[in-house]
Amino acid sequence: MAARLAPVTDQARTRPLLLLIDGHSMAYRAFFALPVENFSTRTGQPTNAVYGFTAMLANLLRDEAPTHVAVAFDAGRTTFRTEQYPAYKGTRDATPQEFQGQVPLIREILETMRITTLQREGFEADDIIATLSTQAQADGMDVLVCTGDRDALQLVGDDVTVLYPRKGVSDLVRFTPEAVQEKYGVPPASYPDLAALVGESSDNLPGVPGVGPKTAAKWILAHGGLDGVLAAAPTITGKAGESLRACADQVRVNRMLNAAVRDVELPVAVGDLAARPWDREAMHQVFDALEFRTLRERLFAMVPEEVGEAEGFQLDVVSPAAGALASWLEARHGRRLAVEVAGTSAPGRGDAWALAVADGADHAVVLELAELSPDDEGALARWLGDSAQPKSVHGAKDAMHALAGRGLPLAGVAVDTLLASYLCHPDQRSYDLADLSIRHLRRELRSEATADDGQGALDLSLDGTSPHHGTALRAAAVAELGDVLEEELADRGATQLLRDLELPLVDVLAGMERTGIAADRDYLDGLEREFAAAVADAAAEAYAVIGREVNLGSPKQLQEVLFDQLQMPKTKKIKTGWTTDAASLADLFERTQHPFLAHVLAHRDASRLRQTVEGLIRSIDDDGRIRTTFQQTIAATGRLSSTDPNLQNIPIRTEAGRQIRRAFVVGEGYDVLLTADYSQIEMRIMAHLSGDPGLIDAFRSGEDLHSYVGARVFGVATDEVTAAQRSKIKAMSYGLAYGLSSFGLSKQLNISVGEAAALMEDYFDRFGGVRTYLAGVVDEARRTGYTATILGRRRYLPDLTSDNRQRREMAERMALNAPIQGSAADLIKVAMLGVDRRLRDEGLRSRLLLQVHDELVLEVAPGERDAVEQLVRQEMGAAAPLSVPLDVSVGVGGSWHEAGH
């Protein structure tokens, strides 16, 4: 058995260590080790191979601490070996579609880590590794080779160890000379002889029939190597000897092909492969695009500080004497100070226990809120609530909720570094302050020194002597970050968006979150029982079809029922068998109409709805209201999202969704709920942005849009457009705004690709402005690097010029979608600000409760219904001066469902 040895540490190593990785081999192993359906970006780019490879690399760098690193890749399928033996590797399956495009992403990560990558036309990665390994040995280095190709075992020696994946890419077997001898019965130099006799199925190299590793090893040892074995072939008796003589020529071919080339001409020498400091900013960008937050944190956490690029903070922290806070703040009157709050920020249940104020990156004050004197608490409250005193905060809405728990206000936020960073980089996955500090300031949230000036300074040593040293550090980071991000906002044309839209919206959202929406607990309890019964019924009916009980939530048991017992057509192959994800089962049911699948899908739907209702019940506060949290930094297009609980994912077009919406009711002391939403907002924005006369006329005519467009596409009167034709036009009109292809349209409408292409061509013939706009928006984004909404919200799309076709096409679809969906998001935010301002200016008690995409939900006080409806229509209708009217639909009722329209 191959030995699995403890890695050599830096302390024990006296010679440089070169780590060589076979890029394609290990990427392929990673692809099959991780289920592709669990690893993809929001844009649909599979990332399982990238994730697995990078995680493996991180482990190797951490455990082995190499001084030199390189990754070798195959340059293509054609090599000198295929020229000499065309059948070489000829039986390998076609590259899975989900794997294609992932190797370039791995190369991007390696580039940001400043790890050299190599490939050479006509050769394999093995040959590059053999060449570098040979050079490294000559230079007095130790070598680690990480590969899934057993041919690399011939390289093993006193100075060379092979790490071979036993399972996935995390369980690596360490092959030393002793381990190779133990496993195969021959020394490493003789391994190619053994492989030539036994053959290698993955390379399509047939071996001698009936000859396994033990027989081959016995022959090699007895005759001094392969040449001796072949010379002695006439004397080897039995069936094995007969097979050897028949296959001698193939064995010679095998041995010629499996020999590693050790003198490939390369553009670098081993001395050029020294490990170098990573490009943290570039790593942030590529990890943002791949949405690898945890993996990024792992990598950054293991970088030794001496090779990092980030400094800490030289921070002087004071705790003013009782009663001195007012003078400290007055001395800084009018200056923008950074505020950091330590506490909890649940809407309506927040609490703050400490607060730090920094007047720059090197000076801060920390306050224990429970220990403040009345005078200091009054001074703090006046300063926090003074809108004329500018402040920088990271996450102002959370700070507001935490401070509200102490009865403290927060006004005058001039820069929210969370929102500012989001506006500058809307595709980032995380806006954690520690990440932003490293990225923008090259500073880590740690102290460089202990501050103790004898004047009440707090100890900020890294052992955390001060109970709130982290709060002070964060305040200092916010102070410096606010200045940096202000400049970047200006460069990206986003200053006005932050000042006039996103920051004012924080106050509105905080108020909505504190208010919440009333819920009917008894009704929800009954609904939960109803869905639980539906789950049980669907399960029982499924069991009746197959004659036994199984776990319908177990993919393994479902696979056995579907593909073994019921012999259904196979779905997509994954590592654990055939996939049973929702989309695959829905497609399978569409093809088979099998009753078992019908019950499984019903079971899943009912289970999901039951979980939704259970989550809502758990979210009801003591006052009978549910409080969601609105997030401004999740969607790159600018849309708000809702969490804890998510009230934006409750469907409106299904009966089950309508049942759930009935649980949200008007609260005590109020009259009705009022809902208002935009009609066909995205198509109206498309008409405005494209300037297409036909679409503009459609909206100005007041006729049904899709019937109007259908009439012109199909050449019939508006009232002659059939329901099927209208449905096709509707799907295509919205699909075009999302980069829908003729293939995508054919799948959506269940028609041929040819019919879909003809339908699109007819559409463009009559609405040419749309074609021109769609083509132009991508070209303009490719030229500038970004798209922009009506209000100037930019989305940067560097992949528009990517060499990776999949990433480029995804970026093109985003370029089509971002201006339209982003403009819709901007308009509803403008409307919210307008509605909230009018409610306050006119002294009305009615209040905003929810925003769900293009819909607003308000709670209307008695006697205010007409006034509220009028002001909502006015503010939503005037959110932006478009070339088409913004149509607003309004409904009222005792519940969210009843108020629908």
**What whole-number distance in Å separates Cα of residue 754 and Cα of residue 830?**
42
Give pLDDT tens digits for 747-775. 777 788 888 888 888 888 888 898 899 88
Rounded to two decimals, what is the model's pTM? 0.74
Confidence of residue 43 (pLDDT cuts 50, 70, 90): low
Contact 792, 496 (CB under 8 A): yes
Q: Is 370 exposed, middle or buried (0-12, 13-18, 19+ CB in 10 A)?
A: exposed
Give pLDDT tens digits for 216-253. 888 988 888 888 888 888 888 888 888 888 888 888 88
- The token pair at 570 is 């196979």
pLDDT at position 338, please? 96
- pLDDT of residue 651 exceeding 80: no
Range of lowest pLDDT (46-50, 329-333, 582-586): 582-586
**What whole-number distance in Å separates Cα of residue 161 and Cα of residue 806?**
37
- CA angle (327, 331, 334) in 5-degree steps: 120
- pLDDT of residue 340 exceeding 90: yes
**Residues whose CB falls within 8 Å of the CB of residue 821, separated by 6 or more in sequence, listed in order:** 637, 638, 639, 682, 737
**Residues whose CB falls within 8 Å of the CB of residue 357, separated by 6 or more in sequence, listed in order:** 329, 337, 338, 339, 364, 365, 367, 475
Q: How many CB atoms lie within 10 A of CB 703?
A: 15
**What whole-number distance in Å separates Cα of residue 525 and Cα of residue 519?**
11
Beta bridge partners of residue 664, listed in sequence order: 519
- pLDDT of residue 546 exceeding 50: yes
- pLDDT of residue 462 exceeding 50: no
CA 255 remoteness from chain centre: 46
pLDDT at position 755, please? 84
Give pLDDT tens digits for 575-630. 667 888 888 888 888 888 999 999 999 999 999 899 999 999 999 999 999 999 99
Q: How much is the average pLDDT of 415-439?
A: 88
Task: Spell out the alpha helix ranges (H) of 737-804.
Answer: 742-749, 753-766, 768-784
Q: What is the 3-state secondary structure (H, E, C) of 675-736?
A: EEEECCHHHHHHHHHHCCHHHHHHHHHCCCHHHHHHHHHHCCCHHHCCHHHHHHHHHHHHHH
Identify the structural domains of the chain with CATH numbers, from first to last: 17-183+260-273 (3.40.50.1010), 310-516 (3.30.420.10), 524-626 (1.20.1060.10), 682-821 (1.10.150.20)
At residue 145, the 3 state secondary structure works out as strand
The percent of the chain in helix, strand and coil, each rounded to the nearest 5, is 50, 15, 35
Q: Which segment, 87-96, 498-507, 547-556, is predicted with the most confidence on average?
A: 498-507
pLDDT at position 11, please? 39
